Amino acid sequence: MPIPNPAALEFLQTRRSRPAKTLGLPVPSREALMPLLIAAARTPDHGKLEPWRFIVLEKEALTRLSKTVQARGEGLALDPEQVEKGRSQFDQGQLAVVVVEVQKPSEKIPALEQTYSAGAVCIGLLNAAQAAGWGANWLSGWPAHDRGFMAEGLGLADHERIAGIIHIGTETAAPPERPRPDIESITTWQSH
């Protein structure tokens, strides 16, 4: 018989991301962040490739990256509103963890499975942060998909890309509940 963990199940069924702009100080210390990273790394990883790594962005790094986003957006001739939206998570953030997908050569493990594993790390970190009492939000935005930003801002190699940017801090405002999927309408049962 399985041994249920009702508290964990209730947490997963009721968890709610907190908007990054509402996350303030304090943020986790390096010592407090390590258990969250350890929890996130306990993710499905077919072949034990560890096709991901972490970059922790503290306030000064976020400020630097905000300027990089501004320069990249202008260089790409993006609309000023789009540039500002890309900058905002770096301007407003206090601490963020970039989950970097690291594609590794493998004859057995398809690249897509490595991508899925990196995505699982993102949700694992989001859940670990919230389970530890922090507010957290998984963001991306156009800078996270821009090769120039990845290389210039974060030093990513060609075989690496941003899977997600997880902002973590003290929750200053709780968002209202939003509609959730109708599980009955998206679930198909097959018995044979």
pLDDT in tens, 83-141: 999 999 999 999 999 999 999 999 999 999 999 999 999 999 999 999 999 999 999 99
| pTM (2 d.p.) | 0.95
| Rounded Cα distance, 123 and 139, in Å | 11
> Which CATH number applies to 19-58+93-172?
3.40.109.10
Q: Is 15 annotated as a binding residue?
A: yes
Q: Is 52 annotated as a binding residue?
A: no
Identify the pLDDT of residue 70: 98
Q: Is 66 annotated as a binding residue?
A: no
Listed by start position, the domains of the chain span 19-58+93-172
Q: Is 192 annotated as a binding residue?
A: no
Q: Is 145 annotated as a binding residue?
A: no
Q: Is 42 annotated as a binding residue?
A: yes
Condensed to tens digits (0 to 9), the pLDDT of residues 126-138 reads 999 999 999 999 9
What average pLDDT score do residues 47-63 get? 97
Condensed to tens digits (0 to 9), the pLDDT of residues 139-187 reads 999 999 999 999 999 999 999 999 999 999 999 988 888 899 999 999 9
pLDDT at 51 over 90: yes
